[in-house]
Amino acid sequence: MSGERKDPSNKKRSFTIPNAEDVMPILNDISILAGLTETQLHMLFRLLRKTDYKAGENVFEEGEQPGDIYIIQSGSVKLVVNAEETPLELIVFSRGRCFGETSMIGILPHAATAVCVEDTELIVLSRNTLLSLYKSDLEMFSTLVLNIAREACRRLAKTDEILLHYVQTQ
């Protein structure tokens, strides 16, 4: 198939995205893409890849080094800690949500395993692609990194609320 390549980080085949119109409505709703112009979105779109997973497949595992940001085009993915021992489900992401971005920006191993709840199509922004934007379009790179930081802060605030609620009910 044209545009096919093997992703070395997870051994899945990824493909260029053949039709921008199928993906643009989702991209416009993704928080890490807020503030990008239509031109920037179309430029970014050409750099994205697509990959498919079956229900039950792992996108990445706890402890692995991050390499990609994943955007869910269809399906859903849950993050699970201690997947091999005593699994604890943290969150389920659905269409239009992204994951993997905080590990990638933080340059930390993944803190959880990402498991597909159902057959799932993912749009992938690789670390190399994001870093290449630093040289080719510093404004877009800066906007993406700022948006990723904002998303991480929102998730941290939500986690703080959950922990505070838990502590108060004990």
The single residue listed with the structure tokens 């692609």 is: 129
What integer is the mean pLDDT of 141-164? 85
Residue pair 89/80 in contact (Cβ under 8 Å)? The answer is yes
Q: How high is the pLDDT of residue 102?
A: 85
What integer is the mean pLDDT of 126-132? 92
Strand partners, 140: none
Q: How high is the pLDDT of residue 25?
A: 72
pTM across the whole model: 0.81
For the chain, the average pLDDT equals 83
What is the Cα 53 distance to its own chain's centre? 14
What integer is the mean pLDDT of 32-51? 87
At 13, the pLDDT band (50, 70, 90 cuts) reads low
The single residue listed with the structure tokens 């050409």 is: 46
pLDDT > 90 in the chain, percent: 41
Q: What residue segments make up the domains of the chain, in order of their start? A: 5-169
Strand 88-94: give its sheet, edge to edge. Answer: 58-60, 113-116, 76-81, 88-94
Fold classification of 5-169 (topology level): Jelly Rolls (2.60.120)
At 28, the pLDDT band (50, 70, 90 cuts) reads low
**Pairwise pLDDT comparison (77 vs 41), residue with the higher score:** 77
